[in-house]
Amino acid sequence: MLQVLYIFIPMLAAIFVPFLYRRMKNIHTGWFVLAVPATLAVIYATYIAQVAKGEVFTAELPWIPSLDISIVSYLDGLSLLFSLLITGIGSLVVLYSIFYLDKHKEKLHNFYVYLLLFMSAMLGVVQSDHLITLYFFWELTSISSFLLIGYWYNRDASRFGALKSMMITVGGGLMMLGGFVLLYLMGGTYSIRELIAIAPNLVDQPLFTWSLVLLLLGAFTKSAQFPFYIWLPDAMEAPTPVSAYLHSATMVKAGIYLVARFTPIFAASELWVWLVTGVGILTLFWGSFFAVKQTDLKGILAFSTVSQLGLIMSLLGASAVAFHANDSVDTIKFAAFAAIFHLINHATFKGSLFMIAGIVDHETGTRDIRKLGGLMSIMPISFTVAAIGSLSMAGLPPFNGFLSKEMFLTAMLALQKFELFGFETWGVLFPIVAWVASIFTFIYSFYFVFRTFNGNYKPDQLPHKPHEAPMGMLISPIFLAALVVIIFFVPNFIGNTFVKPAVQAIQPFLYDTPQDVDIHVNAWHGITPELLMTIGIILIGVLLFVALPKWQGMYQRFPQSLTLNNGYDKIMQGLDVGLNRISRRYMTGSMRHYLLYMFSGIAIIVIGSLFVKDAFSLSLQGSSPIRPYEIILIVVLLIGTSITILAKSRLTAIIGLGTVGYTVALFFVIFNAPDLALTQLVIETISVALFLLAFYHLPKLGKREERMRFQLNRAIVSIAVGVMVTLVALSAHSQKLIPSISKYYEETVYSLAGGGNIVNVILVDYRGFDTLFEITVLGIAGMAILAMIKLRMNRKEKTHENK
Amino acid sequence: MKTNDVIIQFTAKIVFFIIFFFSIHIFMAGHYTPGGGFVGGLLTSSAIVLLVLAFDINTVRHILPINYTYLTAIGLLLALATAAFPMFVGKPFFTHFFDYFDLPLLGKQSLHTAMLFDSGVYLVVVGVTMTIIQTIGEDE
């Protein structure tokens, strides 16, 4: 119970932020906010020791018990690791933001409310064991990140970036919801733990593949995988603390978390392995390749994040392979360990790099790498931190990136030895692509740090005179950079405490307790293929980096029209313009067209179902003999109808219509309905008189006496409707299922109702209710005509007054 | 040009009463023979329309100083009251009562609450028809 409430602490704290901001003008609001993630980090840290032993903690808060929906907090190795990342890096980011955002110029209350909301949402995502609440928190991260990206809402680029990320992540989130619902339909439970327990039964179900693909769409959009990564570079318009927090350490890892969490359910599927590994490795290459093209510091980091997320994703895909692995490919077990280990490492070095990018932006006024250079002696601390982060990102010793890079290569090399799902033929591509991508990673890491801090100092191009950042701003990046180095020297402590419990959560079928994960990280692991590959990466990377000015121009050759961003713009614009055009095409504003749609729709549906359901039948049983009177009247009726349709003059048409009406009255006479005949005669007279009135008042100008134009489509639709009515009437008449109730009326009309005229007794007694409202309708019609005519006259008078 | 409408006006005066009484007859007899409030109301208004045709709208309004909007409202109220009345004596909505009485002059006749309801219908029909015709007729 208490454990569930921890999730909501930031959300509750957010309520007080605006008050603190208004009342305590002199103290930066961030100091109050800082207490929230720091406290939570301490709380979650108390779980570490027990979770490392393999214990799990669950707490449940019922939400909608009748629908079996509750908020379940489930803390195992994986969710505890993420919770610690969220609160830990959250504290550092809040600390950094205190110095980054000016308390007088910025709307701090908005910022911290969004940030705390996001923190709650993220904690909810990683701790939820319930599919529906997981989705709830998932969308809350999308919404709060939308608000954070659009924080400077008076900038066009911010709004564009916010909208783009919203469209893509919410789109993916909806897909994921679909996947969740399918999972529920298959497994009959919303609980992820229970679904994992019955995972072997799910594999053969027909909905399995669909739920897999939909769920992956959600994970790929959130974690910026190919081709959905395009929102991440545009989200760099957010304030830098947001980029550091959301777009390096937490939100973009929600998709990673999702994939890791659902690996035990889906790992049995070949499609899962190929999709996750393939998309991951493609993203890795694509992101690292295009990172070198960027000129914006945060742009480089955004593409680098995309690429690193691809790396983690491909490792998770490879970890799913371990479910099928035989002992001959023992090294494949490294994949899950490497994924989690790199996830921690990436959070440390990417967080510090983003903060450095923010510092550079803050102190020089620009993030354009072409204007920067030679800042090494002016900002020595920032340079040191940036160098540590970048070298770790490039995968060099003595930094933690080296260790995870080695394990990544180990896992990728192991994939080609794997003899299932066609890996023996295509698996060889994985280490090659990984290696090439690592070279590009090396290049952009160097590009990032040396183009900014090394080279020529260009003071004339910088908006501000640069100087070192204040100490408060540097604390967080220094702390993270220190972690980067420390992790390198004590990888097994991190491994035993955080990584192994998480690995056990990803691969519960392989290991019973975290201690069973038999992986020991060594900085020096002998002369292995991985080490040789790393040496190759460094050699070729240095060469290419030195030659960068010679070949960077090739990026400009890449046609702009083929980029994914352009594709996104085209899709959005196409949807906007195209849908508009489609609606304009059928919403013509012409009543005739709408009637045409309606009638053709009715005719198609009714005639169609008549024949699809084989409902048409014709039996002449029970029909009366045809008498000469009826034939004569029908001929008159047909003549009247034809006159109405074919008449050249409208007057003729009105009289034709009158003929039809009187003939109908005659029909009532010969079919023994005197009440109807009386009413029909009088009503017909009145309506013909009203028609004549309308005809008399037609405007003189443009009144032409011409025959109704013949139009084939209208003729077809009218004939279809006529045929439809005839067919339905014939079928209905041919199969009477229930006898009429009129016998009851006949028997009781005198005894119960005290009358003789059945029609009138039905109208005023048996079913007087209908009559009551029919006369109401009549009254309303009369009032409406009165109002229409009188009010129009009033309006006319008013316009005269205005003149 | 002023036309002399003496014949039509004279005929209208007589025919008006014939149609009017016929409409009352049709209305009254509705429970046993064809007719009823609806047709009765329509016939009454056609009798008034005949007057309108023979004379003109203002004259007819002078002869019959009736506000047809009120007539409609009264008719609706009467119908609703007849329908709602049984609820006050513990019967379902729209229960009708009838019995046979020996009336002076008319002899043994049945009296029926359905007749009251029908009168509502009659008044509404007359009111609405005349409202429409009057409104349109006065419209310039």
DSSP A172-230: HHHHHHHHHHHHHHHHS--BHHHHHHTHHHHTTSTTHHHHHHHHHHHHHHHTT-TTGGG
- For position A796, what pLDDT does the model report? 56
Q: Over range A711-736, report the average pLDDT.
A: 88
pLDDT digits (tens, 9 = 90+) for A765-775: 888 889 999 99
Q: Which residue has the tokens 């006949």?
A: A746
- For position A420, what pLDDT does the model report? 67
Interface of B with A in 3-32 (CB under 8 A): 26, 30-32
Query: To probe the interface with B, which of A681, A687, A767, A778 has the most B CB atoms within 10 Å?
Result: A778
Q: Measured between beta carbons, which residues in chain A are less than 8 angstroms from residue B83?
A: 768-769, 772
- Strand extents, DSSP E, chain B: 98-103, 107-112
Out of A298-302, A640-644, B93-97, which region has the weakest mean confidence (pLDDT)?
Answer: B93-97
ipTM: 0.90
Judge whether residue A693 has pLDDT over 80: no
Judge whether residue A803 has pLDDT over 50: no
**Beta-carbon-side half-sphere exposure of residue A580 (alpha carbons within 13 Å):** 6
Q: Measured between beta carbons, which residues in chain B are less than 8 angstroms from residue A781?
A: 128, 132
Q: How large a percentage of chain A has pLDDT more than 90? A: 31
Relative to beta strand A57-64, strand B107-112 is unpaired
Nearest-neighbour CA in chain A from B112: distance (Å)? 8
Nearest-neighbour CA in chain A from B4: distance (Å)? 24
Judge whether residue A134 has pLDDT over 90: yes
Chain-chain contact of B39 with A763 (C-beta, under 8 angstroms): no
- The DSSP symbol for A495 reads I
Most confident by average pLDDT, A90-104, A522-536, A689-703, A750-764: A90-104
CA distance B44 to B42: 5
Its sign, for the CA torsion A742, A748, A753, A755, is positive
User: What radius of gyration do chain B's Cα atoms show?
Assistant: 18
- Which residue of A lies nearest to B115 if distances are taken between CA atoms? A764
- CA terminus-to-terminus distance, chain A: 74
B110 — contact with chain A (CB < 8 Å)? Answer: yes
Out of A405-419, A757-771, B34-48, B95-109, which region has the weakest mean confidence (pLDDT)?
Answer: B95-109
**How far from the centroid of its chain's Cα atoms is residue B22's Cα?**
11
More confidently predicted of A524 and A136? A136
Q: Over range A492-518, report the average pLDDT.
A: 82
Given a contact cutoff of 8 angstroms between Cβ atoms, the answer to whether A264 and A310 are in contact is: no
Q: Over range A364-379, report the average pLDDT.
A: 83
Query: To probe the interface with A, which of B26, B57, B110, B139 has the most A CB atoms within 10 Å?
Result: B139
Of A163, A521, A538, residue with least CA distance to A334: A521
CA distance A14 to A364: 33
Chain-chain contact of B39 with A682 (C-beta, under 8 angstroms): yes
- For position A800, what pLDDT does the model report? 53
- For residue B73, CA distances in Å to A609, A777, B122, B136 come to 46, 12, 12, 20
Out of A79-88, A116-125, B31-40, which region has the weakest mean confidence (pLDDT)?
Answer: B31-40
pLDDT category of residue A178 using cuts at 50, 70 and 90: very high
Chain-chain contact of B127 with A782 (C-beta, under 8 angstroms): yes
Nearest beta carbon to residue B31 from set A755, A779, A790: A755
- Which residue of A lies nearest to B73 if distances are taken between CA atoms? A779
- For position B16, what pLDDT does the model report? 93
- For position A613, what pLDDT does the model report? 84
CA distance A622 to A638: 25
Q: Which residue has the tokens 């003999």?
A: A625
Judge whether residue B1 has pLDDT over 60: no
Judge whether residue A682 has pLDDT over 90: no
Judge whether residue A335 has pLDDT over 50: yes
Q: Which residue has the tokens 């019995």?
A: B99
Q: Over range B31-58, report the average pLDDT.
A: 87
Nearest beta carbon to residue A779 from set B26, B124, B139: B124
Q: Which residue has the tokens 């009129």?
A: A742
Query: To probe the interface with B, which of A682, A696, A766, A775 has the most B CB atoms within 10 Å?
Result: A775
Judge whether residue A426 has pLDDT over 80: no
pLDDT digits (tens, 9 = 90+) for A59-94: 988 998 898 889 999 998 899 999 999 999 999 999
Q: Over range A684-702, report the average pLDDT.
A: 78
Report the number of secondary-structure helices (H) and strands (E) in chain A.
35, 2
Judge whether residue A378 has pLDDT over 70: yes
Query: Tokens in use for A217?
Result: 């769409």
Q: Over range B26-35, report the average pLDDT.
A: 86
User: What radius of gyration do chain A's Cα atoms show?
Assistant: 38
Chain-chain contact of A781 with B128 (C-beta, under 8 angstroms): yes
Of A214, A251, A60, A228, residue with least CA distance to A138: A251
pLDDT digits (tens, 9 = 90+) for A338-363: 899 999 999 989 999 999 888 888 88
Most confident by average pLDDT, A181-185, A332-336, A488-492: A181-185
The mean pLDDT value of chain A amounts to 86
Judge whether residue A618 has pLDDT over 60: yes
Q: How large a percentage of chain A has pLDDT more than 70? A: 95
Given a contact cutoff of 8 angstroms between Cβ atoms, the answer to whether B128 and B66 are in contact is: no
CA distance A698 to A745: 48
Q: Measured between beta carbons, which residues in chain A are less than 8 angstroms from residue B26?
A: 678
- For position A257, what pLDDT does the model report? 92
Q: Over range B115-127, report the average pLDDT.
A: 92
Q: What angle do CA A150, A154, A156 make, to 5 degrees?
A: 75
pLDDT category of residue A329 using cuts at 50, 70 and 90: low
Q: Measured between beta carbons, which residues in chain A are less than 8 angstroms from residue B129?
A: 686, 782
Please list, residue by residue across A436-462, b when 16 or more beta carbons sit within 10 angstroms of its beta carbon and e when fewer do: bbbbbbbbbbbbbbbbbbbeebeeeeb
- Strand extents, DSSP E, A507-639: none
Judge whether residue A434 has pLDDT over 80: yes
Out of A143-147, A404-408, A664-668, A715-719, which region has the weakest mean confidence (pLDDT)?
Answer: A404-408
pLDDT category of residue A795 using cuts at 50, 70 and 90: low
Interface of B with A in 52-71 (CB under 8 A): 69
> Which region, left, alpha or beta, applies to residue A728 given φ > 0 means left and ψ of -120 to 50 means alpha?
alpha
List beta partners, residue A512. none
Q: Over range A489-503, report the average pLDDT.
A: 86
Question: Which residue blocks in A24-130 are alpha helix, DSSP H?
Answer: 29-45, 48-52, 77-100, 108-127
Chain-chain contact of A682 with B43 (C-beta, under 8 angstroms): yes
B75 — contact with chain A (CB < 8 Å)? Answer: yes
Instruction: Count interface pairs A-B at CB distance under 8 A.
Output: 123
CA distance B42 to A270: 81
- Which residue of B lies nearest to A771 if distances are taken between CA atoms? B121
Nearest beta carbon to residue B34 from set A678, A775, A783: A678
Judge whether residue A705 has pLDDT over 70: no
Given a contact cutoff of 8 angstroms between Cβ atoms, the answer to whether A481 and A331 are in contact is: no
pTM of the predicted model as reported, rounded to 2 decimal places? 0.80
pLDDT digits (tens, 9 = 90+) for A539-560: 998 888 888 888 777 777 776 6
B41 — contact with chain A (CB < 8 Å)? Answer: no
- For position A738, what pLDDT does the model report? 81
Chain-chain contact of A675 with B39 (C-beta, under 8 angstroms): yes
pLDDT category of residue A334 using cuts at 50, 70 and 90: confident
Given a contact cutoff of 8 angstroms between Cβ atoms, the answer to whether A312 and A280 are in contact is: yes
Chain-chain contact of A678 with B39 (C-beta, under 8 angstroms): yes
Chain-chain contact of A753 with B114 (C-beta, under 8 angstroms): yes
